[in-house]
Structure 1
């Protein structure tokens, strides 16, 4: 019995995926108990439980995708505070492109329907990639610390977007909404499916590709990586460009799911959610270690926690305090692992 407890304790301290998964299971059990079992039949209870979970997953798919990119950024010993503002910028441009009103850019050249959607999505993906690459260039060639570079980008992207979108009442075509609202069976699963596919791809990249190993090398010891022949600046540039691409994907999903965007508030706090998910999932803030699967677990923990706080009627302003507490505890656990 003592040996079993010792092995579990050792796994909890030294294996972030194990400890994060255990916390997630505990959160799921608590949520299930809070939802209760007062239903006419097991089928009714199961349907309610499933619907609740699908709502949680669907509502957090966008930030979940961003958190996956944030994992790579933090693994490279960086940070990105601009993701919320980048989401607003790319989302706003997407809406201008496909706007069915008189100001729709693609409509002005006679491009509508599915061809317009395809062109708009490609343009927005390229835009997100380029915005991320611009941040990467500022960090690598301009030698500006990631915190400062992305903080500045956050201010620029959001303020410029707000300026140009003043009085612009965009109308998103109803057909575009099917990107996120298309039903699989009786459920709207598409945002969840997009999240799962991207998570699977990035998991493979992190575990099976040279790029994934080089990110870890750069985050672990930049000088040693450089001496080993790794093009450090190129890797960092690619990481931030990938981050921008993933944010643009999240923007497309959000616009197609909601059909609109609040340019003043959309994306605010998203960077904190993404960082929290990565750190809770075992990604080291000092770089060199990260887990895509752990980030998925971490995002689910935060999503369930938000749902529970909502069910308990905790005031919105206090919910951020709980999130901050979780992040601090996760970092303290990482410190304990390093000391041990």
Structure 2
């Protein structure tokens, strides 16, 4: 394969500077030992070290265990120049490797198949290789390595959000927002659900406020994490969103729709990123009227100030004088 040196340095997180362009030794699957890695490659470095990298590869059908990794380490990696590379399809397996490091020291390298595919894709673009191209094609066709296609990172984003507990961080910041202070006194709103309450309903968690008017409206601001009830598909597959939903009693929809000025107002909302479900079919769920959503990977810093600024921007659009005049009409 072209650029063996670059690829090996990638696999070992840049820890070593290879002396040669290729490994000095490559060995296949080990057999007959109490612990059997999937192979080994060796190379020399510029500072005269002879390094052995044993490797363990996993697919979705064969899960990773801490016990197996520690057995490999105990059998083959006890000297200072031997290490273990673990490759799996699941980013969540990194926590297993982190546990192994706590028990046995920094003897491990970890990569996902998606990371390897991206690196190989980069190498293959500048130095085309039949073997590499066939390997990448196999990954896409067989789906053996999920997310192997370099441009498809949907699942990794969602897993990342779970592992790093991003939702909990957002909720912590949301709790410090003083929503009531963002409204003019002339607007008649009342909080009906506090984020501190047990209010995980309809695939979302956050604040809910009633807007006292003849159309029985209310709005939500918080995290939208399950699109099943709302019927509004995530902008990025499987990725939670910071969301504002403005809802209406379904029995009042036709009455509201009769207002001749509303279509042009909603067209103005659309230009500012507000989705509407009165004249357009955003969802078959008739409770939803307006929505403003940002995938969590695009939001930026999840600070209270950023979340407040985002909500204030939305409220300034939705509670425009024109729209408020229509929905407060007796």
Confirm or deny a common fold (TM above 0.5). no
Q: Which TM bucket (shorter chain)?
A: under 0.3
* Structure with max Cα Rg: 2
TM-score (norm 1): 0.19
Q: Say which structure is richer in helix.
A: 1
TM-score between both structures, scaled by the size of structure 2:
0.19
Q: Quick check: which one's strand share is greater?
A: 2
